[in-house]
Amino acid sequence: MPLYSPGFRRLSGLMIKTSIAIVLSRQRCCVLSHHWGLCVAVRIALAVESVKVYITVIGGSGERDERVLKAAEDVGALIAEKGAVLVCGGRGGVMEAAARGAKKAGGLTVGILPGLSRREANPYIDVAIPTGLSHARNAVNVLAGDAVIVIGGGAGTLSEVGLALAYGKPVVVVRGTGGVADLLSGKMIGDSRVYTADGPREAVELALRLASKRREP
């Protein structure tokens, strides 16, 4: 089956989301075995059942600009407040800030890790998925989301944007956060448009709206 065919995209997306659901199910069973953790198990079960959209947030793992990290944290919080799941690369910088925001807002976070150990995930990741794929995990990261939000970013982020567009995922950049986000703001790449938002709230609302238009049954 061709790598970028619609059939491959549907199969890949289904496999990724099924894997996440299995991990969550195992977490739930584990927690249920401890009566003190019953409320956590119920919360996980409700999260799994009520999930409507997955949003992938991408950006630099080495980001240090507090303004950019604040934007990422706000994006994460807004994703959680809208009842969506936050997906990211699971490590530092923009990924950690976004996951921190989502956790503060009571959301669920998934980290698609490049290495072999769940321990490389930042402390705000609920579901850590080691891939052992290094940079190739970028394809898994964008496939797991129904839409992608870009905050700053460098070469790795640029590759994720390219993959997201190749797989037909809506891409929204937060303008003013520098890097790849500003480089690609408003651009057409082939037949694909990179959407622009002037702030975290607009970015999340736009990503959710675009995701709802293309979600598979």
Query: In this structure, what DSSP letter does residue 35 have?
Result: G
**Segment holding 170, helix H or strand E:** none
Identify the pLDDT of residue 52: 74
Identify the pLDDT of residue 214: 75
E strand intervals along the chain: 54-59, 85-88, 109-113, 127-130, 147-151, 171-174, 188-189, 192-197
Q: What is the mean pLDDT of the chain?
A: 85
Mean predicted confidence (pLDDT) in 7-21: 56
Query: In this structure, what DSSP letter does residue 135 have?
Result: G
Residues whose CB is less than 8 angstroms from the CB of residue 27 and which lie 6 or more positions away in sequence, other chains included? 44, 126, 127
Q: Is the pLDDT of residue 104 over 80?
A: yes
Identify the pLDDT of residue 37: 45
pLDDT in tens, 207-216: 999 999 876 5
Q: What are the residues facing 128 on neighbouring strands?
A: 111
Q: Which two tokens stand for residue 151?
A: 């905050």
Phi, psi of 189, rounded to the nearest 5 degrees: -115, 105
CB 84 within 8 A of CB 52: yes
pLDDT in tens, 41-73: 445 444 444 557 999 999 999 999 999 999 999
Identify the pLDDT of residue 207: 98
